[in-house]
Structure formats: structure tokens, C-alpha cells
Amino acid sequence: MRTPLFKKIKEFIIKKINDNIYKEGEKIPTEKELVKMFNTSRPTVNKAISELVIEGYVQRFPRSGTFVKKQIAQSSILDLKNIADEINSRGNVYSNELILLEEIKADENIALILNVVKDQKIFISKMVHKENDVPVRFDIRYIKPSLVPNYLKQDFINITPNEYLQKVCPVQKVNNTIEAILVNEKIQKILDIKENEPCLLISRLVYSYEEIATYSKLYYPSSRYKLNSLWENSNSSFI
């Protein structure tokens, strides 16, 4: 099936934005210029621009034109992409800060979630991920040592916990729960956000070898991230 021309125009503009050719705050070509570039009609170009406005790539100003909007980073909720790869793919610089990496005793709540006995020894890590030195996610991970015995020995400056876990623990199932919350003062400071800014919290259970391997709490500042998912049906009609 041929791609409609308005979608090609959208893809062209999005690529220019992602490649930093059309920079934030800068004006993109006018509809008249795009009509000439793609040898098409004004309504076709208008449809492409309108969808870009809806999707948050650009914004229109009467009599002034269409400008690239400040982009908020996107992260998929339905897969286990490495955040370092996501950030690098946008042409930005990834860094992290390891706040905690140690062995603890599972309290009653965590023991119930990981399906272990209370006070059993487990691993915990806390890390903040940064994009161009700006905090974009804070992770708290609880790890079952029987499945990941060498977790505490890793250098998480050069490899993210997620990347390491996927190497040593084949993923069988992932259970995500998403909610909007206000976080405590400690997490506000870690993420460098104000007390009234909500975060999106993903509580994630990852299963491996027929049991729960990790339980993670991932905090995203709402002003710096938007979560997305994509599902495509290979069939041409609904059943």
C-alpha cells in the first residue's frame, strides 16, 4: 500500500526536527513552500501540518507561521528499551548517578511482591538517569539474588541496570502498572522538580525462569517525558 503524501510530508518534517535541522523555536517552511517542494495541493500540506500540531511537534501562530515546538522526550511503556539507547538515539547525551546499591532484608510488602519470605536478603539499587545532564527518570529496583547473584558487582556507570538484567535474565513476562502521583521531598530533590509537579510512576514486575525476578518503580517527571505505545494490527479489518 502506498503511503499517503500527507504522511510523507509529516515524516519529512519530523526527520528534520529529529536531526536538529529544524531546531526548537525555529520556523519551518510555509505551506506554500511545502506545496512547491512536494508538488501537491494546499489541503494535503495543511493536513500534514495539522496532525503535527496535534501530535505536539509544531505550533502555529496566526500571521507568523509554524514553529518547532519544544519537544518532550518519549518513552515506550510496552517494552524494555534501554533508556541510554533511547536518549542517545535522539542525539542527546546520556548519563546517570548511582545513588544506592546494596543488600537489604525484604520488608513485608516487598517480600509479598517478590514472593519471598520476610527478612530474606535481596538486592536494591537506586539510580537517576539524565538527558543532557537533566534528570528524566528515577529508578528503584528490587532484585531477587537467586536469579541475579552478581548484581551488586556490576559497574552501573558503563551499563544500566536494565541492560545488564536483560543480558542475564531472559524475560518471560512483564506486568506494568501506571499511575500519576506526587512524590516526596527526597525524590523531588533527586529529579529537581517542584513539590506540585506530578510524576508518572511505572511499577514493573519482570518474570524470568517462571518466577518474579525484579520489581521496579520508575518515576518520570511529567514536564520532561511523555509515554507512548504503538500497536499495529496486521489484518486489514477488525474482528
Q: Which domains does the chain have, with CATH numbers?
A: 5-68 (1.10.10.10), 73-228 (3.40.1410.10)
pLDDT tens-digit series, residues 122-152: 999 999 999 888 899 999 999 999 999 999 9
19-37 core/surface letters (b: 16 or more CB in 10 A; e: else): eeebeeeeebbebeebbee
CB 9 within 8 A of CB 44: yes
pLDDT at 55: 75
The mean of the pLDDT values for the chain is: 88
Which alpha helices (H) appear in the chain, and where do they start and end? 5-18, 31-38, 42-54, 83-89, 108-114, 161-168, 185-191
pLDDT at 71: 66
Backbone angles phi, psi at 104, to 5 degrees: -135, 170
Q: Can you say whether the dihedral through the CA atoms of 171, 230, 160, 181 is positive or negative?
A: negative
Using 50, 70 and 90 to split pLDDT, how confident is the model at 99?
very high
Residue 85 has pLDDT above 80, yes or no: yes
CB neighbourhood size of 200 (10 A): 19
Using 50, 70 and 90 to split pLDDT, how confident is the model at 3?
confident
What is the C-alpha separation between 180 and 202, in angstroms, rounded? Answer: 9
Share of the chain above pLDDT 70, in %: 90
CB neighbourhood size of 141 (10 A): 22
